[in-house]
Amino acid sequence: MKELPAEAHASLQDPLVFARDVLGLEAWHLFDEVFSLLGRGERRILVRSANGVGKTTALAVLCLWKLSQSEECIVLTTSSSHEQLRRNLWGEIRRLARRSGHIDPKSIKTQSIVLGEKRYAIGISPSDAENAQGYHAASMLIAIDEATGIERDIMHALLGTATGTQTEIVMIYNPVAIDSFVYEAERSGAWKIVTISALDHPNVIAGVNLTAGAVTRDSFEERLAVWSFPVNEEDGGFAFGENHWMRSPETQKRLLGEWVEDTGDGQIPLAVIRRSLTVAEKSGTKCMGIDVGRSDRDATVFALFDGNVQLPFHIMYSRDLTRIADKAAEFYAEGFEIIAIDDTGVGAGVTDVLKRQGLDVIPVNFAQAAKGFLRTAYRELINARTEMYFLIDDELKRGVIRLVDDDKLHQELASVKLKFTENRAAYSLEPKENIRSRLGRSSDRADATVLARYGLRLAAMSKKNLLVV
């Protein structure tokens, strides 16, 4: 990097002033907040935004600002795809780097700016976790664009490099996937969160194109007309122009930068799951579902229901099937007499131990045929696993069960997606491997929970004197 004029040195300490004085950009107030957080030393920042508000440009500014801070500095960048990384994020980085006039044009490549052996910015492949490892410097920035689309192994590899006290992580994204890493990060309380709505953009407020290429008032109104409709003020919504507008899913995600919890790609809406936390307690049969861990990465999860109320999970990290069976026997002695167990694979071993102990166990193979509990389904349910999730979906929508307040359970239930069989004659659920890939873990809590409720139905079908909600 060439020597900056004396009056510019002060600007290197403040990304907002750097954007204005070195790059010739005027940041609007919400990006002022992002820049100020970084300038004040915040190390973990999440920026959830609407479409078209300039989030990629802001991230490019931060990358160039960080590169100007030290003779030893590494900036790692990635995005949801190779195309997004090369064209969008690095398109902005290259444009602003050339515009600054202080970076030798020969050092600016398609996805890198190299100013020294330990002073560079590079693009990391979004499909190869190994490329995201092994970077260490006194000062680092990890900048992630379109973060909801990043594979978890890439995310974990990048975060694994963030060990220094002068390493910052900034992730920018549209709120389009609740099974993403950033959704969990927001709820962890460990990150600073900035929400950016297109309603607050100067172009939309003024009705004048103050920032070229960003959302305009006209484009906002056009999309609003397609995605929403006017409602009465007392019906909620949000104010814009002379009307109040319905908070439809697309307006929330694309225009307001808000997560959508009442709908989505999953079979069970997250809002319906969260609503269950307020359901009144109702006494009834005690039951448990046991999802037995199949590998060293998987836990064995016990889901317990006392009547219609789910109790906190009991989780074991043990490969000893006898120990798992003994814990089930303890719960049985406490009155949890309905035991539904995933009998696939190693679960069959736990079933055998319990039966030798004289306990009445309901073994369930997820691939076995559905029992036909839901007669109103429009299509056939392809197997027991699909039927289990349809049953708990039905109970949640009827408001008859109260789930435990557990973020991981809620996310797992809301992440399970529906698909059709090839001839579209039956419903099926996507493979568990798909869910594991998105969540970065197996859906053990959800599987144990639906097993418990399914076991209750199976026990009732065998004419036991049970209360089923």
| pLDDT tens digits, one per residue of 414-443 | 988 887 666 556 788 888 888 888 888 889
Q: Is the pLDDT of residue 266 over 80?
A: no
Confidence (pLDDT) at 393: 92
Confidence (pLDDT) at 388: 94
Rounded to whole angstroms, the Cα distance separating 53 from 196 reads: 8
Burial pattern 191-211, b for ≥16 Cβ within 10 A else e, equals: bbebbbbbbbbbbbeeeeeeb
The two three-digit tokens of residue 187, written as one number: 């709820």
Lowest mean pLDDT among 10-24, 393-407, 440-454: 10-24
Give all domains of the chain, ordered by start, each with its CATH number: 6-196 (3.40.50.300), 202-256 (no CATH), 270-461 (3.30.420.240)
For 453-465, what is the mean pLDDT? 84
Q: Is the pLDDT of residue 10 over 50?
A: no
**338 φ, ψ to 5°?**
-95, 115
CA-to-CA dists, residue 369 to 339, 384, 426, angstroms: 19, 6, 12
Alpha-carbon torsion, ordered 442, 443, 449, 450, to 10 deg = -120
Biggest CA–CA distance in the chain, Å, is 86
Tell me whether strands 108-109 and 230-231 are parallel, antiparallel or unpaired: unpaired
Q: Is the pLDDT of residue 83 over 70?
A: yes
- Give residue-wise pLDDT tens across range 98-146: 988 888 999 999 999 999 999 999 999 998 888 888 898 889 999 999 9
- 108-109 β-sheet, strand order: 108-109, 112-116, 119-123, 73-78, 139-144, 167-173, 44-49, 192-196
pLDDT band at 84 (very low <50, low <70, confident <90, very high): very high
Residue 449 has a CB neighbour count (10 Å cut-off) of 29
Q: DSSP 3-state assignment of 23?
A: coil
Neighbouring residues of 315: CB distance < 8 A, sequence distance ≥ 6: 299, 300, 301, 302
Tokens 């074991």 belong to 316
Lowest mean pLDDT among 122-131, 194-203, 284-293, 402-411: 122-131
For 215-231, what is the mean pLDDT? 92
Among 175, 122, 171, CA closest to 147: 171
Confidence (pLDDT) at 9: 46
The two three-digit tokens of residue 240, written as one number: 């814009």
Confidence (pLDDT) at 464: 60
- Give residue-wise pLDDT tens across range 362-397: 999 999 999 988 865 556 888 999 999 999 999 999
DSSP label at 429? E
Q: DSSP 3-state assignment of 43?
A: coil
Confidence (pLDDT) at 456: 94
pLDDT band at 12 (very low <50, low <70, confident <90, very high): low
Tokens 């209360």 belong to 467
pLDDT band at 8 (very low <50, low <70, confident <90, very high): very low
Among 125, 117, 6, 22, CA closest to 65: 22
**210 φ, ψ to 5°?**
-75, -30
For 221-249, what is the mean pLDDT? 89
The two three-digit tokens of residue 267, written as one number: 């079979």
